Amino acid sequence: MSVSKRPYLVSFLLLFTALVFSVAVGSVFIPPRDLIATLWSRLTGTGTGIFPDPYATILFSLRLPRTLLIAMAGAALSGSGAAYQGLFRNPLADPYLIGVASGAGLGAVLAMSIQFPYTILGLLTIPLAAFAGALITTVIVYQLARIGKTLPTTNLILAGVAVSAFTSAVTSFLMLNSTGELRRALVWLLGGSMLSGWQPIVAILPYICIGLGVLLTMGHALNVLQFGDEQAQQLGLPVDKIRRYIIVTATLTTACAVSFTGVIGFVGLIVPHIIRLVCGGDYRRLLPLAMINGAVLLLVSDILARVVMAPQEIPVGIITALAGGPFFLWVLRRSKQQNYW
* Residues found near another protein in the complex (CB under 8 A): 89, 217, 219-221, 223-224, 226-228, 230-231, 233-239, 276, 280-282, 284, 339-341
CB nearer to another protein: pick between 28 and 277: 277
Nearer to another protein, 66 or 243 (CB): 243
Q: Looking only at Cα atoms, what is the longest distance across the chain?
A: 69
Residue among 46 and 154 whose Cβ is closer to another protein: 154
Sign of CA dihedral 275, 277, 278, 280: positive
In the complex, the smallest distance separating the C-beta of residue 67 from another protein, rounded to whole angstroms, is: 31
By beta-carbon proximity to another protein, the closer residue of 122 and 228 is: 228
Check if the beta carbon of residue 258 is closer than 8 Å to that of residue 101.
yes
Q: Which of 56, 52, 22, 31 is nearest to 42 (CA)?
A: 56
H-helix segments, 237-282? 239-261, 267-279
User: By C-beta, is 213 or 326 nearer to another protein?
Assistant: 213
Q: Which residue, 184 or 284, has its beta carbon nearer to another protein?
A: 284
Residue of 99, 87, 38 whose CA lies nearest to 64? 38
CB of 85 to another protein, least distance (A): 11
Q: What angle do CA 162, 326, 261 make, to 5 degrees?
A: 65
Q: How far apart are CA 215 and CA 51, in angstroms?
A: 45
Please report how close the Cβ of residue 238 comes to another protein at its closest, in angstroms.
Answer: 5
Shortest Cβ 218–another protein spacing (Å): 9
Output the smallest distance, CB 215 to another protein, in A. 12
Nearest distance in Å: CB 340, another protein: 6
Provide the minimum distance between the beta carbon of 311 and another protein in the complex, in angstroms, as a whole number.
45
Q: Measure the CA–CA gap between 197 and 66, rounded to whole angstroms.
A: 7
Say if residues 270 and 327 touch (Cβ distance below 8 Å): yes
Its sign, for the CA torsion 287, 105, 299, 210, is negative
In whole angstroms, what is the distance from residue 172 CA to residue 185 CA? 10
Residue nearer to another protein on the CB measure, 312 or 338: 338
| Residue 146 phi, psi (nearest 5) | -80, 150
What percent helix, strand, coil does the chain show, rounded to 5?
A: 75, 0, 25
Residues 293, 266: contact at Cβ < 8 Å?
no
Nearest-approach distance from CB 281 to another protein, in angstroms: 3
Collapse the DSSP code of 100 into the 3-class scheme (helix H, G, I; strand E, B; otherwise coil) and give the result. helix
Residue closer to another protein (CB basis): 195 or 242? 242
